[in-house]
Amino acid sequence: MTDKNNILFLFDRPTEPIFIGKGDENVSFDVPAEYLTDRYKPLASDIENRFSGAGKVIPITKLNRIPDLSFPLSLPRNASFSLFIPYHSKMASKLIETFMDTKSFDELLSLSVYCRDRLNPYMFIYALSVVVTHRPDTRNLELPSHVEMFPNLYMDSSVFSHAREESSVVQPGSRTPIEIPQDYSANDTDIEHRLSYFREDIGINLHHWHWHLVYPYEGPMNIVNKDRRGELFYYMHQQINARYNLERLSNNMNRVVRLNNWRDSITEGYFPKLDNILANRVWPSRPANARLSDINREVEQMSFDIEDLERWRDRLFSAIHSGYIINTAGNQVRLTETDGIDILGNLMEASILSLNPNFYGSLHNFGHDAISFIHDPDNRYLENYGVMGDPATAMRDPIFYRWHAYTDDIFQEFKATIPSYTTQTLGFENVKLQSVEVSATGIPRNEFLTFWQQSDVDLSRGLDFLPRGSVFARFTHLQHAPFNYKITIENNGNQRIGTVRIFLGPKFDERGLPFLFREQRKLFVELDKFSVTLKRGKNDIIRRSIDSTVTIPHEVTYRNLDKNRPSGNTDAAAAFNFCGCGWPQNMLIPKGSSDGFQCQLFVMVSNGANDQVENAHADVHTCDNASSYCGIRNARYPDARSMGYPFDRTPRDGVVTLQQFLTPNMAVQDVRIRFSNRTVAPLQSKIKT
């Protein structure tokens, strides 16, 4: 029986030919001569002699017929590839469909081997990642971390010249990590650089890329059409912006200003300092005060005007205020309290689930495109897109948050049209949340402690045409001390199920004044959500921060497949790819400040009978590490309430402050986030000795 892990070697060193040994053990594929590209076919005999290494040899069965690949092959191997460009996303969708149509794993492996050296490497890796994640016969395999495959998307380009020297001169057991400086894209004369630790964090950029991998907006319908996908698109990005605003307030900065005037100059510049290894070009920069222009990029087959964005925006607002959209058949579809946000999310992006893509367009994606081509809108300088054009790099740019502040504003416009929550819909009869506190070893009660932490990531999987063996980059990121919640709940009824919902929000605005609830509610970030069984009487609940349903553990974010790999294609390894989607645990708590950034911890216990969802089709062995942002694989979203409940709607009449919003099953605790400007060495070295 074929070892399904063999397909994972195709992710190793993406631009090296398939016949060169993969992995540290120099595993090779026995490639049929017909599978070699035209450049290497005349050298088949020489290649077999030179590259048939001493490691394991993976036999490849030649296919009787190669499916039509002309469309995906039309993208050159050295071209940039962006999911936000419709021409590219349709190619990737066709490739995914072709891979998914293979009848067996052996056929999938054989076709993948044939395609690997012919297709654009970035598109190939993306499409195969989607397929491995979603095919029943491969979805228990563990995808390598995207930062290992394409480290050039996540770190300073100067790292790679050092990596070449280290790998060429120093033997694997003696190599030292290459340290990535914290200040490599700008200095503090640019006020936005204060937030570079957040925007350029490897973990949060991996999260954004992985979310779009698990939730592609184009592809086979059974892959795209996940439960409440449009609503999750809204909520995940809303939470990113809320977190970013907490970081800004921590650093004495104003909240994000929406990018709502597309005719005005953009004050923020961004110079990414990244290399685009595949396209053999550096990532373009955007100088301060650049202006958006109409886009006419023939090479990407993309042409649209700023007026198109404005027209789509106006149609979305019109639909919100009229209470319905018009589908492709010309019929009205009501934007209901339950489904309206999901419909709008699919229109906004727009995914293939959009009920009328021609009329409502693709505001979100084309906004990304307009910004990413701002430096060369008509391709006269033959420049590639900027970082806003790729999910793996978009969050690095300050303009990402201004753009999403605007798109979120459209969603908030809809939320304002549906009924506010009443005290009856918020309450939980005979249940009172008496108190909540946060505790951590050696830290004052109700304080969070943050600091800098160093971690290592192995670059060797993405260092093509270099000697084998691990080469590590050492980066510095935000970290917090682990903590526990202690929640006391009084249940004066029978035993029942409750859902505990924990949020963190800022207490004061930029001027130091207490927030009004109508604005503060948009800034609460979800920290955790879990079910509890409430016995009659007093219930003391202890919950660890590392058990959050928002985050994934550090070792999952930066996992290395060559270490601690679960055995084979087993249930123990089930859903690992899906579990790679999630906010990094080290970024759960905002940075705070040295004197203690003042926040409010909100905890609510809602009626579990109204929250629970039947997940009859869920995998038996699955993960819900980050279910709040990523859902659960092959299952409905694990909460019947609206995402962001109870903060997703405008407050009921008479509610001006958070305290006035509270019902007996809620509690608020003032907390401080104290930042210690010290750096902790890596928890443990990953370097092989």
Beta bridge partners of 475: 455
User: What is the biggest distance separating any 2 CA atoms in the chain, rounded to whole angstroms?
Assistant: 82
**Angstrom distance (rounded) from CA 272 to CA 261:** 24
- pLDDT tens-place string over residues 174-186: 888 999 888 888 8
Q: Which CA distances in Å does 192 have to 185, 255, 371, 603?
A: 11, 12, 18, 32
Other beta carbons less than 10 A from residue 200's beta carbon? 26
Element (H, E) at 490: strand 484-491
Helices 340-349 and 306-322 pack at an angle, to 10 degrees, of: 170
State residue 559's pLDDT score. Answer: 52
Please name which of 442, 686, 477 lies closest in space to residue 585, comparing C-alpha atoms: 477
Please give the DSSP secondary-structure letter assigned to residue 529: E
What pLDDT is attached to residue 563? Answer: 42
Catalytic residues: 349
Q: Contact, 140 vs 571, CB < 8 A?
A: yes
CA atoms of 456 and 470, how far apart (whole Å): 11
Tell whether the torsion through CA atoms of 328, 331, 332 and 338 is positive or negative: negative
CB 90 within 8 A of CB 123: no
Helix (H, G, I), strand (E, B) or coil at 316: helix
* Peptide bond between residue 681 and the one before it cis (omega within 30 degrees of 0): no
Q: 3-state DSSP call for residue 313?
A: helix
Residues of the chain with pLDDT below 50 are: 560-577, 616-617, 620-622, 685-689
* CB contact burial 307-328 (16+ within 10 A = b; e otherwise): ebbeebbebbeebbeeebbbee
How far apart, in whole angstroms, are the C-alpha atoms of residue 244 and residue 523?
A: 9
Burial level of 656, CB count in 10 A (0-12/13-18/19+)? exposed
Q: What per-residue confidence (pLDDT) applies to 684?
A: 56
Q: How far apart are CA 356 and CA 339, in angstroms?
A: 16
Name the pTM for this structure: 0.93
Residue 650: how many CA atoms within 13 Å on its side-chain side?
12
Q: Residue with structure tokens 């911890």?
A: 601
Strands (DSSP E) found in 234-323: 265-266, 275-276, 281-282, 290-291, 295-297, 302-304
Q: Percent helix, strand, coil in the chain (nearest 5)? A: 35, 20, 45
Place of tokens 């009501």: 334
Q: Could you tell me the two tokens for 285?
A: 């920069």
